Each structure stands twice: as C-alpha cells, then as structure tokens.
Chain A
Amino acid sequence: MSYQFEELFADIQKDNRKVLDDIEPFEHPLVVLLRKCLEEQEYMLDRLIEEFEEGKTELKDIKTNCSALFHANQKVNPYFAEWKRATGWIGYKDDTPSEELMKSLEERLDEMQDDLIEIAAKLDEEYGESTTKYFIPTFYLPEERVN
C-alpha cells in the first residue's frame, strides 16, 4: 500500500486511548456501550498497526479488521451523541461529566472520524468502489462516490 495508513491508524489509536481513559469513571449504560465500541476499535487498531509494521500489507490482510473498525466507529458517534443528550437531561447517578470534558471528547471523536474518512478515501482510491463499498460504511466514503 502506497499511502501512510500506519500513521493515520496510530493517530486514531492515540485519540481512542485518550477517550477511553477520559470516560473511565463513568457508568451510564450508554457509556458502557461507547466504551465497548472504543475497546473494539482499540483491538482492531492494534491488529492493523501490527499488520503494517510487519511490512508489505495487502487488502486481504486488513479487510476484516478494517471493516470492524469502521463499523464500530459508526456506533461510537451515535452513542456519544446520545450520552451527551442524556447528560443534559438527567444524567446517571452522580457521574455527570463536565461540559469541558464533553467538548474535548467530542473534538477527539470528530478527529477520529476525520482520520477514518481520510483512510476510506485512500482505500477507495486504491481498491475501487466495487471492493470498498462492501466493507466500509457509505458515510465514510468520498461524497461523490457514495454507493
């Protein structure tokens, strides 16, 4: 693969770890789901980075993990958005996070998503729509090519 995927995956991994650390104290059921998705992301990122570190990587080596990563991320954002709404409404027991923390989490999750969109675009460029559309969710693919 010609593009620097490893670097982007590493960036996501860093953000992912930070978000996991930041939400550690919270017990809201939506955080439980969010955490589980982030842990899945972390697992997939570890595998993907390992794959790239081992040298020349082909699509078949990363496709399944990539698919799981993107689809986990597709759940991360709605869970976070729901938790944010829940926090504004009632919260959960005594674990309501600060507005600053929510803002910073949101920024990191947005960055993560942007990095994934960049990766999706490059994979799409490299392997073509006939392939990528079956393992990358539509809304990460380039806008002009969304099927």
Chain B
Amino acid sequence: MTFKNERIDQNVYSQGEVDKWVYSTCGLCSVGCGLYVAVKDDKVVGVKGNGDDPINRGRLGPKGENQWHANNAPDRLKTPMIRNASGELEPASWEDAMQLVVDKAKQSLEEKGRNSVSIYSTGQGFFEDYYTIAKVGRAGLQTHLLDANTRLCTATVEFALLQSFGADGTPASFDDIDEADTLMLFGHNVAESGTVLFERIMERKVRTGKPYIIAVDPRKTLTAREADLHLQLKPGSNLPLMNGLINELIEQDKVDKDFVQAHTVGYEKMKESVKGWTLEKTSESTGIPEDQLKEFYRVMCDTPSLVSTTLQGAFQSAEATKACVAINNFHLIRGLIGKPGCGPLHTAGQPSSSANRTAGGVGTYPAHRNPTNPVHMKEMAQLWNVDQDSLPAGPEKGIEEIITHIEKEEVGFFWNIGTNPLVSLPNRNRIKKALDNVFVVVQDPFLTETSAVADVILPVAMWGEKEGTMENADRTVTISRKAAEPPEGVRSDFEILVDFARRMEFKDRDGQPLVDYSTPEECFEEFKGITKGRPCDMTGITYERLEKLNGMRWPVPDEKSTGTPRLYSDFKFHTKVDDVQVFGKDQFTGRALSKEEFQEIGAEGRAILHETYHLPPFEQPNDQYPMWLTTGRSVWHWHTRTKTARAPMLHMAAPNNYVEIHTEDARELGIVQGEVIRISSPRGEIEVPARIGETVQKGLLFVPFHFGNLEKKESANNLTNDFVDPISKQPTYKQSACKIEKIRNAHEVKADESLEEIASHYGMTAKELRAANNLSAPYEIEMGTTIEVPASVINTPIQPYIPQR
C-alpha cells in the first residue's frame, strides 16, 4: 500500500485563478511523482500534486514544487547561437544553425568516418527523444558513439541487471518497498535524492513500525539518521561488506538451496569468491564494528522479505557493478526475488534515465536488443527497414572512452543534448581541453558552463512545454502533457532531432525517410511496436491509458494489462541466448563475452550468480594527499543547478558550495566553521567554506557536485579522478584522494591589542580566532606574536529540510 492519505502539495504564483491545470509528471528525480501544471496566460505558473497517482498521492518534494520557476527565467535562450570567427557566440537563425550542424556532421563523417560523430545525451528527456536518438544514431549516422549522462548514474544499474538476469529492468518496485520487512538503502540517500519516496517509506514506518531500515553510507545523511541500523563504512568498501554478508549466510547454512538449484547457475564459483570474508576481515576492511556487522547479518539472514535499493553511493564507487551484482547474488541465494516485498531495486537519479536505457539511446539497441547478436540485429534491420550490415554491432562506448577518442582527434562532431559535462564529468580540466578541440553542439534551454566550448547552441523547450513519456526508477512509464507553448524561437529536442534526420536525408531501404513520424505520439507508437515480445513490451500502452491509469510498469503486453509491479515472479530470467540483452562481461576485468562464452555459462532461463573478488579503489589517500574525497547531492539542488539555481527558494536554501569536514579533523587542523579552505588533488583545486560537523567520518571530505562556475574555484569535479568501473564504465566519483590547505593571513600582535579586538577587526569571534590558531588560553597572545587569520569566512547555513511533513 502506498501513502494512506493523499496530501496535495501546491506551489503556484498567479494573479487570480489559473487558466488550466494540465496533467503531467515531475521532471526532476527518478521517483516520477504525478502532478498537474498550472497555466496562466499560456505560461507555466506552478504545480500541484496529483492525489490519484499512487506514487506520491499528491505529495511533491522541494525541487519538484519549485521546478517550474526555471521555465520563466529571464535568461532563457530564445534563439540559436553560432560561434563567430572571433570566438564569440552570436545569435543566429534556426536555418543557419541547423545547416551548420548538418554540414559539420557530414564533414566529420566524410573526413573521419562513421565513428567520428558522437551524441551525448541525457536522463531528463522523453522516450521519444531517446528512441529518435537511437534511430538517428544507429541507423542514420551509423555510429557507435552514443552515450548519455546516464553513464554517471544508471549505467551501473543496467550492467548489474544484465550480468545477473540477462536483461535490464529492476525486479522490485516501490510497491515491494511498501510490503518489505527489511529495506536496505545501499549508497542511497533517498531522503535527499528522492524525497517523496522517503516520505512514503517513513509514513509506513511511523504507522506500522516497518520496514527495518538499514542505511549503508559513509556519511551520516538525513536518511542514515532515520535508519534502524546505519553502517558507516569506509570509502571503497561496499563489496567487502556484501562479501562478508554472503559468506556469513553460507556459513550459517541459510542459503535457499532449492531456489539456488532450480533457478540459478554459478553458485560454487560465487561461493569460492567470498570465502575468507570473515567477520574480523570484513570489519577491518569496512571499518564497521563487529557488533554492528553481527546485527546486520542477523537481520539480513533472517528477514522474511527484503528490498535492497541502490544509488550513487553504489554506482559511483569502486567496484560499482560488482557490489550491485553481489546484492543480486544475495537476493538470489536467499530466494528473495519475484515475491511480494522482495527483490533488488537498483534505482536511478534522473527522471527518465531508465527510459534512455530502454529506448536504446545508450548502450544496447531499442527494447533491450543485443548489439552483438545477429538474430537481434536482423530484427532491428527489419523493424527499421534498413540493411543489417549498416547497423553498428558490438559493445557500447562510454563517455570517458569517447573523450579519449576526441583526444586522439578521431571525433569531429560532438552533440551534447540536455547535459552539462563541464560541470558533471570528473577531472573537468581534461574534459574542457578535449571539448575545446572538437566541433560541439550544445542543446539546452540555458547558457550552461558547457556553452564555453560550444560552436553552436540550440535553445530547447523545457518540461511543461512539450509532450512525451518517461520511465521512472521502478519501470513506471508516465506521460507529461504539454502545458504551455515554449518561448518564441525555441524548439523541442524531438523537433530538432526529427529536423536533423530530414536534413541529413537519412533513408530506409526503400528510399523513404528513415524517421517518418512527426509527433511524439506517432514516435511512441513506432517504439511500442519495437518493444513487442521483448522484456519491456509496451504493446498495451497508449498515451490515453498512461493518463487514465497514472502510469504503468512495463511489461504491458496487451490492452488488458495494467502493468507488472514485479519482475521474475515466475523465476524465469532473460538468460536464454537469443533473449539475453548482451552476452555479459567478465565480472573482474569487464571484458565483453562472446555468444559462445555466454552459452557455456548454461544459464538457459536461470539467473546467473557471479564471482565477486575484491579489488581496492584505484586511488587512495597517501602522505601527500591524506584525505578521502567524496561528492554527492544536496536536497536543495539538482545536478548542475541549471534549473534549481533559477528557483529563488532553492537557490536561497543553498547558495554556495562548501566542504564537509569532520569535527576532529577540523580541530586538529585549526579550521573554523565557515573558513574558506583550499582542497586540492592532483587534478586541481577548489576554495570553499568548511562546514564542520559529524556528517562525514574522520578522514573524509564531502563536496556537493552541483556547483561548477568556470570562473570560481568551486567545482567538485576539479578534484575528482576519472577512473571508471570496469563493467559499467561509470566514473568512480566517490573515491579520490585530496588534501586541505588553510588560506591565512598573518597578523602581528601589537602592544595593548587584545585577541577580542583582533578578532573583531577581522569579523570573527575571539573563540573562532583561538580555534584557528589552536590556542587554549588568552595569555598565549603577546605583543610581537604572529597569529594566523583566515583569509575569508563564509557562513554556509543550509536551510534544514524536514522530510516528513
């Protein structure tokens, strides 16, 4: 059961009654809350929750409530821009901009070949955008280089699911959370990243006492504070924790042997890989006290039902896919999958990153088709009416690999849609240098930091100004209706992609236009046909039904079906050789397996248990860089703040970046609250105020990743390394090494000058100045003594957020 009662959250700014309320879905996080958009004078002026939508029953999170402000921001781009000969961006007509885009794409194809053109898209678009990217990219441009910022998010979900179950699609849903006895939130700070889902969890918890919540997180987050058990593990020790748990389950002889025998392969190899992960070794490796581990083992080995969710703490860490696969392994060997209140629920950050995976805009082909299986490729060629040989085959390339191709001057055209890589990608100095040397198209409603490297900018319609469908974190497909017209001079992503296909003259085998639909709904109907018979079958979905039923979880195989809340309830997995979405990867090295190698596994419809051998993080603190650095989200902002910085309430709630530092570390270093300190790594440095407390553990610094002004030293990704997870190719943002330096001025104490006077002169308190100099007594200040004064102190209060209203 979802929320017991509805509560309609509303945020509208309108003189008088609004003209209409238009059915839609929240476009921020991956929960996918139903809402209505308020329209007045053909402008989006607010939102209110949809009380009938079972996901949120009318509730909205702070970001969701305030997302509409950006639509009306005065700095919306309203005309394309082209970089002129003197390097300045200047307004241009759509005709000139699109012609330049087409000319440059053609030039790159001609001079450098098919794989010289890259589209890097988003997790915030619609199915219709992603499917068109897939069709244009695969069958039109015929390039391998399609990726999206989902690589920084749900790529790990996809590969963890492919490795274990043969196809994408998270097994459990939010409904299972409502029924679970135990909920493990693994690297998933749901209170800040998916506030309404957290409310849903806590509403039941308050009402029934369930579920028992386990939070696995190196930080004492808002989520962790509400948990029954917080496992505050060391950075980079996700897999050791899971290996210890699985070893314990085996030692206690609590494996569901019948389930393992009937529905899985690979048990013995998996068992061997966790052997030796004793309580002592796991405690040492994770830093979690033995008694806490014992409690964790007790609950996890005995709970009758369990949902395990994951997010960036799992995905952006060392051994990302292995850790998620280990979670899958645990569910499988306990038989806790495909049953009410059970299953892994690997989530997502963005509202429709799952849709991009399903539509084939990244990684594999549309509707979970295998790019290395000739059978699937033949189907795709037939469905698109193109020559099979023209379709690119083989494993995908991730954004970090694409950057390497750009550095090698093998890419001539980089089309950046709805994402801001100059803030969001790790080691951004490298990214900027690479993108400076390729023709870059930026498609965005605003001048983002990435526009600094753009050669063409195409202004696009925002949420509320276009129609389309999304897929949330639990496979629910939703519809967002167009509420208002976009500003004059602005086009939707979909319109731009369709126009590009027309201008490029992409044709099918009969000489007809490759992209022959012109509306999002026509596009969806075509995509629906592509999904028939596949794991994500959407045959029974129509725009009308999506609105009527407030979304449906795929598969929806016919018009009688209202969707599938839980996958694998028949314990049949997508691991038959001509069903599987990819042939998998070596669990240790990430090397792609061939069809023959996959056949040798012999899964044939059973789930695959994988080995999970541990490997330490690729970068670890040393004498020169003694601190761990991790990055993450704040409840008040979204990604690179393109939208949330334009919502006054959200901006004011957290206007500056900062670094969290543990109280003891701050005391040892003599750092005072709010003092601007320099954090540096071998990649770069930032100078941000310190927020001292106990949210982070000792030895760990946390910097939100939302801030990235190129003119300021504030971006977390100035510091992060750009290593990637071997299997999902996700950057390991959560584990970099760094150091702290104080930025101080010297003050020589004059005769008759008191500490209070000095402190007051610099806008500090005497207590702060004493702390800054590690002074314990006033008499330590004497004439002629030189004391250090922080160069800058910026208070960074963050508006408290109370998740359960």
Chain A contact residues, CB within 8 Å of chain B: 28-30, 32-33, 36-37, 40, 63-64, 67-68, 71-72, 74-75, 78, 81-82, 85-86, 88-92, 129-130, 133-135, 137-139, 143-144, 146-147
Contacts and interface: CB of A to CB of B under 8 A. Distances in A.
A11 B401 CA distance: 27
Contacts of A146: 113-115, 142, 144, 392
A82 B400 CA distance: 11
The 10 closest A-B pairs by CB, nearest first: A89-B682, A67-B594, A133-B393, A64-B596, A71-B592, A29-B615, A143-B113, A146-B114, A147-B392, A71-B591
A37 B389 contact: no
A75 B392 contact: no
The SS class assigned to the B binding surface is loop
Nearest to A77: B404
The SS class assigned to the A binding surface is helix
A75 B395 CA distance: 12
Nearest to B619: A90
Interface of B: 113-115, 142, 144, 372-374, 388-395, 401, 404, 586, 588-597, 615-620, 622, 624-625, 681-683, 721-724, 726, 737
B401 A130 contact: no
A75 to B, nearest CB: 5
B591 A138 contact: no
A90 B625 contact: yes
Contacts of B392: 138, 146-147
A37 B589 contact: yes
A133 B681 CA distance: 42
Contacts of B620: 90, 92
A72 B591 contact: yes
A40 B389 contact: no
A32 B617 CA distance: 12
B704 to A, nearest CB: 23
A138 B622 contact: no
Contacts of A72: 589, 591
A147 B390 contact: yes
Contacts of B595: 134
B502 to A, nearest CB: 22
8 contacts: A36-B588, A78-B401, A78-B404, A89-B682, A134-B374, A134-B394, A137-B592, A138-B394
B594 A64 contact: yes
Nearest to B617: A29
Contact of A89 (B115, B390, B393, B683): B683
A136 B38 CA distance: 53
Given A90-B624, A147-B142, A40 B615 contact: no
Contacts of A138: 115, 144, 392-394
A71 B594 CA distance: 9
B113 A144 contact: yes
B682 A147 contact: no
Contacts of B615: 29, 32-33
A134 B393 contact: yes
Nearest to B392: A147
A146 B590 CA distance: 23
B589 A75 contact: yes
Contacts of A137: 394-395, 592
A75 B391 CA distance: 23
B404 A81 contact: yes
A130 B113 contact: no
A75 B592 CA distance: 9
A75 B590 contact: yes
A33 B723 contact: no
A125 to B, nearest CB: 15
A137 to B, nearest CB: 5
Contacts of B618: 28-30, 82, 86
A68 B619 contact: no
A85 B683 CA distance: 10
A135 B113 contact: no
Q: Which of A85, A90, A139 is packed against the most chain B CB atoms within 10 Å?
A: A90
Given A75-B589, A134-B393, A147-B392, A86 B619 contact: yes
Given A129-B389, A133-B393, A90 B622 contact: yes
A90 to B, nearest CB: 6
A44 B395 CA distance: 20
Contacts of B622: 90-91
Nearest to B614: A29
A1 B759 CA distance: 84
Contacts of B144: 138-139, 146
A129 B373 CA distance: 14
A75 B624 CA distance: 30
A44 B142 CA distance: 31
Given A30-B723, A78-B724, A147-B392, 9 more contacts: A33-B588, A64-B596, A82-B618, A86-B619, A90-B682, A133-B393, A138-B115, A139-B115, A146-B392
Contacts of B388: 130
A29 B723 CA distance: 11
B588 A68 contact: no
A91 B624 CA distance: 11
Contacts of A74: 591-592
A143 B112 CA distance: 8
Contacts of B142: 146-147
A74 B622 CA distance: 31
B624 A37 contact: no
A64 B589 contact: no
Contact of A147 (B372, B391, B586): B391
